[in-house]
Amino acid sequence: MAITLTRERNGCVAHIRYDNAARGNSFDGELLGELVDTLEAAALDPMCSVIRLDMAGRHFCGGWDTTSFGDLSASTAESVAAALRSSDEMLGRIRRLPVPVVAGVRGQVIGFGAGLLSAVHLPVAAADTRLSLPEVRFGFAPAGVGHTIAQALPRAQAYALLTGATTASGSQLLAWGLVTRVVPETELETAVHELVETLAAVPGQALRAVVKVVESSLATGSADESYLASARTIVAGVPAGGVR
């Protein structure tokens, strides 16, 4: 397993690669924390305006590593709930990054992978992507992922996914607003590269302000923080003497 960070375009683009392909890009608490720490470290660079997240191998994310499930029977409901809150807070840290994260989504998106997908700001999906929530087969009810799905999807579709009665295709993810674009799998790398290049051409502070506008609006339901974020870019962008 490896997480690597490289800088491109004079630091404008941070390229992060998560490679746990041998286990379908699954996660445990330690791996998730390492990825989030790496994303935050990349965004701290004032030169960075966009992060490209690459998930290695054939699948975007195989969910939570099932080898940790054996410990659950000896846990209390309260301790498991605390662990679930902790993993969701990790995803919240991705959503609250000051720069957008772009990711290509292919293959299987399983369980916790749906939460990771929802945390990425600009996911581009291959048409053959399939999202599934198999937790009920283990006797579990999805928690944070279930909350995300219930908020994002029509009620009947949320039930169908959360009960494992159906899977979602790339086109369905697009219709539900969970991805920004769907392309043939052979075109995914090109589409992600083009999106990153488009964002990298935007002034960095303006791009960071857009993230602030969107995420603060979603988090608070108010435009108050949006006004200030926008005003800062306007003041910085207007030359002395006004617009000519």
Write out pLDDT tens, residues 148-172. Answer: 999 999 999 999 999 999 999 999 9
Sign of the dihedral through C-alpha 189, 44, 220, 141: positive
Distance CA(2)–CA(175), nearest Å, equals 33
- What is the reported pLDDT for 243? 44
Distance CA(48)–CA(99), nearest Å, equals 8
CB under 8 A, 24+ apart: contacts of 74-83? 81/143, 83/29
Q: Which amino acid is at 176?
A: W
- What is the reported pLDDT for 57? 95
Do residues 87 and 36 make contact, with C-beta atoms less than 8 angstroms apart?
no
> 210-224: buried (b, 16+ CB within 10 Å) or exposed (e) per residue?
bbbbebbeeeeeeee
pTM of the model: 0.92
Low pLDDT (below 70) residues in the chain: 68-73, 238-244
- What is the reported pLDDT for 238? 55
- What is the reported pLDDT for 139? 86
Distance CA(102)–CA(223), nearest Å, equals 25
Greatest Cα-to-Cα distance within the chain, rounded to the nearest angstrom: 70
